[in-house]
Amino acid sequence: MSLALGDGAEPGAIRDRDQNARTVPSDTVIGLIDVAIVGAGTAGLAALREVRKHTEDFLLVHDGPLGTTCARVGCMPSKALVAAANAFHTGGKLETFGIRGGDKLTADIPAVLRRVRALRDQFVAGVLEATQELGSRIAAGKARLNGQNRLIVGRQTIEARQIVLAPGSSPIVPEPLRALGDRILTSDTLFEQDDLPRRIGVIGLGAIGVEIAQALARIGVEVHAFDGAARIAGLSDEKVARKASGFLAREFAIQLGVEVELADTDGCIEIRSGDNRVRVDKVVAAMGRRPNIAGLGLETLGAPLDKRGMPEVDPQTMRIGDTAVLLAGDANGDRPLLHEASDEGHIAGLNATSSKPISLSRRTPLAVVFSDPEIAVVGRRLSELDLDQSLVGEADFASQGRARIMQENRGLLRIYAARRNGRLLGAEMAAPAAEHIAHLLALAIGQNLSVHELLRMPFYHPTLEEGLRRALRQIARDLPPCSISDLAGCGPLNIESLE
């Protein structure tokens, strides 16, 4: 990185794109570098990896603790908590297998949380290693755009040919909840707790709320969960959503389609929804995440902004209009998932260092919620389909052989295919091993496979994937039959154990 002043300008001055030198209110001007990246999260680091293939003349500007949202407060600690909760929950099922003593197990919640943090620290350490060697090419501070080739960071101005913005997102905590101080938890603070209170409210049952609510309930917290929507975890298929919330409601109290108010009452938080009142000790606000674009200076780009202040971003190049600025990861609000943030950083990095636009096709949509049973959405959601042109096949796991053996026989998988040619379009599910079934389907959808083509692959016995085959066969019944010499036409025996 060049720390010299831009193009021989006077101290305290930088050059506009029209080459007029003008004074800027800063102590230092760094310019003109090839690429500035804002945010050392997954998207920022993925962009950096691509940028470094072409230039070492870059600056990574980062506000807040390093380590990425995923490793520090997101995917990894949440899954560590879920894993502990599920391990404990298994104790309650042991009796069914003829194994005694499971009911004597106890959850040492402080120890559970210590393990979550210990694992978290290991994951974060791995990220820190990746940024350590950057030396002066990583700067701390909150960056703000000042036109399309300039960033302001504190009293410093950075001029860059290309700017990749990857500032991530933050939990939404509405103002009235903030008044309750540290009794309002978010995914940023939950894993930092030394212990947990007896009763916790969870407001919001998207992916994060569902995982946290079930995990807390499974380690012995009395959980009361609420959501304003009628369907949980981003599901659009009413049948799957109803099943999913039904399973969860056996473990903790759920109210859907309700507005809640919180009141500070007798040292507790009272959650009010209609006539219903419930008292809890703390509340986890899981009401979604907001892109970190406030104060980012996007308005200085001159590109049109929507109501939220968000510019239009080309999802195949990550570029904002024809500016020198790219917006990647959670910050653009499009696909707030880890693998998408990584892809978007990659795409932004490629485009920041290429003289011509590089348009990349995006992957088949895939989202997984690590509840039990797992929830997954792959390809197109039911709500995105023309139902007259689509076929739906389903498999209920209540009687599925392998699921029964494992005592995990609950769940519903619904697969959607084109009526015209049997091409797989998407699926929604709340089912055992949904993460794996969803990956298989993503592969099939990505390869543009039809139901018959997928039915041609081997299905081992007894596996949960036989549930997938059941749903596929149901669709196949409504399609023109395949050739007599095609094994895809091999039907079920209709005998449970020989599915």
Ligand X SMILES: Cc1cc2nc3c(=O)[nH]c(=O)nc-3n(C[C@H](O)[C@H](O)[C@H](O)COP(=O)(O)OP(=O)(O)OC[C@H]3O[C@@H](n4cnc5c(N)ncnc54)[C@H](O)[C@@H]3O)c2cc1C
- Which residues in 404-433 contact ligand X (CB under 6 A)? none
- DSSP 8-state symbol, 40: -
42 binds ligand X (CB under 6 A): yes
The stretch among 239-247, 324-332, 406-414, 425-433 that binds ligand X (CB under 6 A) is 324-332
Q: Decide if 42 contacts 338 (C-beta within 8 A).
A: yes
64 binds ligand X (CB under 6 A): yes
Q: Does 442 interact with ligand X (rule: CB under 6 A)?
A: no
In the complex, what is the shortest distance from the CB of residue 481 to ligand X, in angstroms, rounded to a whole number? 40
* Rounded least distance, CB 273 to ligand X, Å: 24
Helical (H) or strand (E) element with 200:
strand 199-203
When binding is defined by CB under 6 A, the residue of 6, 32, 78, 391 that contacts ligand X is 78
The one-letter amino acid at 326: L
Size of the site for ligand X (CB under 6 A): 34
In the bound state with ligand X, the residue whose beta carbon lies nearer, of 14 and 61, is 61
Contact 163, 320 (CB under 8 A): no
Pairing assessment for the beta strands 28-38 and 58-62 based on DSSP bridges: parallel
- The correct pick among 313, 341, 385, 430 for binding ligand X (CB under 6 A) is 341
Q: Does 364 bind ligand X (CB under 6 A)?
A: no
Cα–Cα distance between 312 and 296 in angstroms, integer?
Answer: 15
The verdict on 38 binding ligand X (CB under 6 A) reads yes
> Contact with ligand X (CB under 6 A): which of 26, 69, 148, 364?
69
251: three-class secondary structure by DSSP? coil
75 is an interface residue for ligand X by CB under 6 A: yes
Q: Which is nearer to ligand X, 13 or 130 (CB)?
A: 130
DSSP H helical segments within 187-322, as ranges? 207-218, 238-249
Spell out, one character per residue from 289 to 308, where the chain touches ligand X: x when CB under 6 A holds, - when not: ---x---x------------
Determine, following the binding rule CB under 6 A, whether residue 435 of this chain makes contact with ligand X: no
Rule CB under 6 A: choose which of 15, 30, 35, 41 binds ligand X.
41
Should residue 201 be labelled a site residue for ligand X when binding is judged by CB under 6 A? no
CA distance 437 to 434: 5
Contacts 24+ apart (CB under 8 A), 63-68: 63/39, 63/140, 63/141, 63/142, 63/143, 63/167, 66/40, 66/124, 66/127, 66/128, 66/131, 67/123, 67/124, 67/127, 67/128, 68/40, 68/41, 68/42, 68/124, 68/127
Spatial CA neighbour of 413 closest among 400, 401, 430: 430
Binding site for ligand X (CB under 6 A): 38-39, 41-44, 61-64, 68-70, 73-75, 78, 142-143, 166-168, 187, 208, 292, 296, 329-331, 336-339, 341
